[in-house]
């Protein structure tokens, strides 16, 4: 019987308030460059895919330097000017995504979390993020209901490595077979949970949201 449900954060409970490429392009305008947002979006998606398929849990945690590499790859895809002040630009982008208003929760997020809590099921977040996530969550009332928030950069390893799942079990005081993870990534979420002996379910919006994932788990 499942006694604790953890959620991935980005793509599962939260999404950017606007397309990432649009944010990158808009903030680049502060430094005199107006790049095509679609090319920055494509660059971001390619860099993120490379990191999640090749780097997750193999090169430590993503961290600030990892995000700098992803942003650099994104702007290079947009033809960044040679003398563009990238370091200053990166700091602005990095701080932007620490703001709650840079994010939106999915329509069912609050009710899904509340539904589990009402049935006495422990709830938490298990995310390959960094401490900025705590600043983001401070802007969402439902986050106050969570029993645990585990962030890869704070733990020192990330999904799919089993160590972060073992840490989550200790925090909520439940064995792996009584825990479940709902996420959106086949490698880090499904693969990590399965290897740790957890139940799992994936969202795949717009076809499958949190309610469908919970139903798959029998909740």
Structural domains of the chain, with CATH: 4-15+102-216 (3.40.50.1000), 17-101 (1.10.150.720)
Distance of CA 180 to the CA centre of its chain: 17
Residues 6+ apart with CB under 8 A from 136: 14, 97, 98, 99, 100, 102, 103
Give CA–CA dist 176/164, Å, rounded.
12
Stated pTM of the model: 0.93
pLDDT in the model for residue 57: 47
The residue count for the chain? 219
List C-alpha distances in Å: 94 to 14, 56, 152, 193, 203: 17, 20, 17, 29, 27
At 82, list the tokens.
Answer: 């040679």
> Average pLDDT, whole number, for the chain?
94
pLDDT in tens, 44-87: 999 988 877 765 545 556 788 889 999 999 999 999 999 999 99
Residues 6+ apart with CB under 8 A from 173: none
Q: What is the mean pLDDT of residues 96-109?
A: 98
Contact 146, 134 (CB under 8 A): no
């Amino acid at each position: 019987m499942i006694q604790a449900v953890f959620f991935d954060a980005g793509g599962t409970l939260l999404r950017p308030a606007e397309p990432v490429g649009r944010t990158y392009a808009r903030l680049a305008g502060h430094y005199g460059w107006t790049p095509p947002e679609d090319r920055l979006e494509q660059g971001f998606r390619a860099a993120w895919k490379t990191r999640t398929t090749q780097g997750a849990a193999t090169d430590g945690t993503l961290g600030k330097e990892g995000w700098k590499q992803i942003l650099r790859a994104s702007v290079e895809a947009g033809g960044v000017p040679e003398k563009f002040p990238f370091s200053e630009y990166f700091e602005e982008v990095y701080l932007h995504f620490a703001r709650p208003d840079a994010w939106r929760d999915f329509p069912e997020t609050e009710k899904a979390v509340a539904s589990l809590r009402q049935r006495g099921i422990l709830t938490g977040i298990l995310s390959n993020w960094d401490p900025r996530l705590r600043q983001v969550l401070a802007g969402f009332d439902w986050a106050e209901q969570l029993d645990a928030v585990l962030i890869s950069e704070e733990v020192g390893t990330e999904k799919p490595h089993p160590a972060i799942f073992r840490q989550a079990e200790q925090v909520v005081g439940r064995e792996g077979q009584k825990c479940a993870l709902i996420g959106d990534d086949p490698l880090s979420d499904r693969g990590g949970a399965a290897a740790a002996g957890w139940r799992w379910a994936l969202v795949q919006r717009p076809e499958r949201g949190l309610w469908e994932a919970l139903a798959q788990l029998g909740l």
